[in-house]
Amino acid sequence: GENVEQHPSTLSVQEGDSAVIKCTYSDSASNYFPWYKQELGKRPQLIIDIRSNVGEKKDQRIAVTLNKTAKHFSLHITETQPEDSAVYFCAASKTGNQFYFGTGTSLTVIP
């Protein structure tokens, strides 16, 4: 099965700085990579995703990059704000609706 590793497990940044979270996956058949933000006591919410035929995708302050050869993908958040504080999960999936989540990164943005 798929093994998704995520680093770091915790991350603290000053407001306005950038945050980077990295994930690696093991199954070369994985072709869709979503990122979720989960605030305490709430549901995971999709914030950005990338497909295997694309190397980079950006949505305002959030960007994701994918290196298929190395089997890793990263989330970049620029100009961080206190409301960005949450747990972030990466996931990898392949055809057949199989989704496997990384272990999560707890991001704290210090005002």
**Binding interface with other proteins (CB under 8 A):** 31-32, 34, 36, 42-46, 49, 51-52, 87, 89, 93-104
Question: For residues 54 and 110, which CB has a smaller minimum distance to other proteins in the complex?
Answer: 54
Q: Could you tell me the smallest distance in angstroms from the CB atom of residue 23 to other proteins? A: 11
Structure token pair of residue 93: 């999936």
Structure token pair of residue 97: 């609706």
Question: For residues 56 and 79, which CB has a smaller minimum distance to other proteins in the complex?
Answer: 56
Structure token pair of residue 28: 């070369």
Alpha-carbon span 99 to 17, nearest angstrom:
31
Q: Which residues pair with 10 in a beta bridge?
A: 106
Q: Could you tell me the smallest distance in angstroms from the CB atom of residue 33 to other proteins? A: 10
